[in-house]
Structure 1
Amino acid sequence: MSVTEISVISFGYLHGDPPADANLVLDLRRHFRDPHISPGLRYQTAHDLPVRRAVLGTPGIRELISTAALVADAFDAGPGGAPLTIAVGCAGGRHRAATVAMALADRLRKTGSPVTLVHRDLGKPVVERTVTGDAVAPAARENGEPR
C-alpha cells in the first residue's frame, strides 16, 4: 500500500464537530440503532463486549465497515500517497463510533496498512439525552432530572 498512514478517529457529535482534516466521515447517528437507548449498555463503552456485540450485530454495520475499507483502498490507489483520515461519528462517541472505528482499524491493519486509532470522546461522560436524542443541557437539570 502506498498510503503513508491511515488515522481512524471515533467521535461524538454531541461533543463537537468531526475532525476538520477528515477525508471521509461516517455519520452513524440516524441509520443505526443507538445502544445508549438500552439502560444496560448506556454506561458501557466499546471496550465492553456487550456493546461490541450489539453494534456489530446491527444490520448493515459489517457491510459499512467493509465498504469503508474499500474506500480506503481507493484512496490508496491514487498517486498521492498522502495520509488518510477516516472519522467515525455517532451521538456520544462511546458505542457505535468507537466500535466501528475499532473494527475498521483492525480490518485495515490486516491488509498491512499502518493505522492509528484514536477515540476522541470515548472517555467522556455519558451525555444525557431526551427521547428525540437531543442533549439535555446541564443547566436544565436539577437533581439529575431533565426539566
Structure 2
Amino acid sequence: MAVTPKANTELVAVAWLSSVDGIEAGQVATTLPSDASAWETNGFVHVVGGTGGTPNLDYPLREPVVQVDFYAVNLASGKPPWGRAASLAELIVAGTYDAAGLQRVLTLRPGYPQARVLTAHFISEPRRFPSDESSYARYTGDLALHWIHL
C-alpha cells in the first residue's frame, strides 16, 4: 500500500513565506544555500523548523510556531549588512498584515495536497543574531501559522 504524502508545517511555511509580496522565487527554503552569491542581492529566508505549537484536538487545524531566519551578505566587504537583513524580516512582518496573503490556497511540492494558511503572525519581534563567523547578517523571529489541509 502506497502512503499518500501529507502536508507538513515546513512545506506550508516555505510556501506561505514564498507567497509574500516582494519575495523572489527560490528565496525561501529549509536549507541555507552554500553559495552565498546566489542570494547576495535579495537575501535569504531560512525556515529553521518548528519551535512549538499544538495541533487542534477536535478538527484538522494546525497551529505551529516556526523559527524563521533572515540572512543578508555582502561578499565584497565581509561586513554584515544588518539593514538588509532587518528589511527582509520586516517585509515578512508586513506580509502578515496583508489580508490578501491570508486564506490563500497554497500549492506545495509536487505530489503533496494543497493547504490553506488562515492566519500568520509573529509571536516575537525579529531580532539581530550576531557573531556569525561567515560575516552574514542574520535576524531571527518566531512565526505562528494557523493552517489546514485541503
**TM-score, normalising length from structure 2?**
0.27
**TM-score, normalising length from structure 1?**
0.27
**Bigger proportion of residues as helix:** 1
**Bigger proportion of residues as strand:** 2
